[in-house]
A and B are shown apart, each in its own frame.
Chain A
Amino acid sequence: MYLTKKTYVKEQMKLAGLLFENPYLMLMMQHFGLNFVVQDKSVEQVCRENDINKDVFTAIANLYNGFQELDSVHFTRTDIPSVISFLKNSHQYYKDEKYPEIKALIDEIARVNSTPEIKLIEQFFDEYFHEVIDHLEYEDEVAFPYFEKLAEEGESKQLADYSARVYRDHHTDIESKIMELKKLLLKHIPLHQDKTLRRRLIISLFELEYDLTIHYAIEEDLLIPLINHFEKTPDRG
């Protein structure tokens, strides 16, 4: 795995080849609810078989490969459910897999490194984790159901407290705290018999940050503009 070259994803490409190049695309496929063992199928084939808009799929795959192209892709209302399902599955992954993994690593580190700094890191992370859970639950329980309804009925009622700006502020916060954790763990807090665990923790934080960055890009640059568009011009058809 030598992640310096990444391909610009196109629909006729073999999906397996892309997965060999960037294994994090497996994670993306899980977020789409897809099986990542795809034999020799092309991107287009996998999308067709699973009823996913190939433009949505390639746009998001390109985000994972480091390209930004969401502004230039034309999405429609029928894409909203698959985008929301992607985001919901991502939430599940953060809540059930990634954050518990990070939490477990911090706990393990605390067992071998009993310095006060690590104690404080535990606290820092716990507080942060609660903020994140609150945010994810808000989206799952309030924002997404509203978007889904909008997609179904073309309803044009504004969700009063929901604006792209509120969204963005919250995101910045969640991301900057991961950055702070990385900084403290990688640059400032001395190692104390926790070298291997620390490395695993930091790499796990990088992975979380990578996925979250893309998650927000999808919400802010794809979902929000799409929603704003339908709020302004409700489609009764």
Chain B
Amino acid sequence: MAECNIHIAIIEPSHMIYEGLSTILLKGNPHGRILRFENLDELKEYRDKNCLEVIIVNPAIIMGDPGALGSVKKHFRKAQWVGLVAAVFSDSLLQLFDARIQITDTPGNINSTIARLTEENCICADDSPVEELSDREKEVLIELVHGLSNKEIADKLHISTHTVISHRKNISQKAGIKSLSGLTIYAITQNIISIEDIQSGG
């Protein structure tokens, strides 16, 4: 958790509460990023919607129009919604949230609530997909770098063109690189080909 750089949005009108809460959250998540929004409309216009893992809202903001929360929620598929409870609210209102933080909670409580919510899709977890290419993918990459077409690679490796295309897709996904010149450099850094290979191969 300590290394996690989660993005947390806060909608809380009180400056004091906002500052206090963001200080506590940053202590628990030194690499976290806190963004403050004034209301749901502002939040809805935030560009990187999928980057927000947690959205903390003072329920008073939505009390007048609880339905509005539902329509905003649709835009933030990955986010967990947390009610920041500093007054008495109806159960039906509090039910709209995935979790609740009480104004009387200790910093430890608050951060463990957030940790519990973000555990599953925490990007710093060590289960990130393997990026190393399989032997077959390496073979395909070598031919690609030498300028062969999908069809030529298929013939040479005795596989279907369809399979070549799917290998190419996986290679690009794993390397994060699509262009041929980018893949060439990648192949060299991974010791899949040597510089002499491409110079002599043309």
Contacts and interface: CB of A to CB of B under 8 A. Distances in A.
A132 B182 CA distance: 16
Interface in B180-194: 181-182, 184-186, 188-190
A188 to B, nearest CB: 4
A5 B22 CA distance: 11
A5 B35 contact: yes
A216 to B, nearest CB: 12
A8 B181 contact: no
B178 A184 contact: no
Contacts, number: 69
Given A66-B47, A72-B45, A4 B189 contact: no
B42 interface: yes
Interface string A109-145: 0000000110011011001000000000000000000
Chain A contact surface mostly: helix
A5 B34 contact: yes
Contacts of A180: 176-179, 182
A68 to B, nearest CB: 4
A85 to B, nearest CB: 24
Interface of A: 4-6, 8, 62-63, 66-69, 72, 116-117, 120-121, 123-124, 127, 176-177, 179-181, 183-184, 187-190
Interface of B: 33-38, 42, 45-48, 175-179, 181-182, 184-186, 188-190, 195
17 contacts: A4-B33, A5-B35, A66-B46, A66-B47, A67-B46, A72-B45, A116-B195, A117-B188, A120-B184, A120-B185, A121-B185, A124-B179, A177-B179, A177-B182, A180-B178, A183-B176, A188-B190
